[in-house]
């Protein structure tokens, strides 16, 4: 790759929006979350639906769950198959295997987890 091509690619990449978490429900560090809660994580960019699954979006402690992408293309839906345990801390991690619609991925240091505690 020529120096000019590399420089152009660097300038283009710097203009690509961050691929990270925009918001979540429950919010990060929330307490008193209902044990029946369905968790949603909205990303700043549309995602590749083929990469949004229960292998690439984890819930710790591990709970059987369905993971899907909402119709907006940006919101990950984590739906536990049973109620969560009471008074328990949980962490949802969106792994680096989840990709943006056009192949973008997380950069080091970008938040990709949310944690909460059930009531």
Secondary structure in 3-state letters for 14-72: HCCCCCCEEEEECCCCEEEECCCCCEEEEECCCECHHHCCCCCEEEECCCCEEEEECCC
- Domains in the chain, start-ordered, CATH in brackets? 18-118 (2.60.40.1220)
- C-alpha 37/C-alpha 72 separation (Å) is 20
Report residue 102's pLDDT band, with 50, 70 and 90 as the boundaries.
Answer: confident
Cβ proximity of 58 and 95 under 8 Å: yes
Segment among 17-21, 37-41, 67-71 with least mean pLDDT: 17-21
**Closest among 110, 119, 65 to 89, alpha carbons compared:** 119
**What does the pLDDT read at residue 17?**
55
Query: How buried is residue 88: exposed, middle or buried, by Cβ count under 10 Å (0-12/13-18/19+)?
Result: middle
CA 118 to chain centre: 20
Cβ proximity of 112 and 106 under 8 Å: yes
Is the pLDDT reported for residue 16 higher than 70?
A: no
**Residue 13 Cα distances to 44, 52, 72, 105, angstroms:** 16, 23, 24, 12
Region 22-48: what's the mean pLDDT?
A: 96
């Amino acid at each position: 790759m020529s120096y000019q091509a590399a420089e152009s690619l660097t300038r283009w990449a710097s203009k690509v929006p961050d691929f990270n978490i925009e918001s979540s429900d429950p919010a990060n560090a929330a307490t008193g979350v209902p044990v029946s809660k369905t968790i949603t994580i909205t990303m700043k960019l549309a995602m590749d639906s083929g990469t949004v699954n229960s292998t690439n979006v984890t819930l710790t402690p591990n709970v059987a769950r369905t993971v899907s992408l909402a119709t907006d293309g940006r919101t990950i839906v984590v739906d536990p198959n049973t109620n969560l345990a009471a008074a328990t801390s949980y962490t949802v991690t969106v792994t680096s295997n989840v990709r943006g619609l056009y192949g973008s991925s997380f950069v080091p240091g970008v938040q990709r987890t949310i944690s909460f505690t059930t009531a």
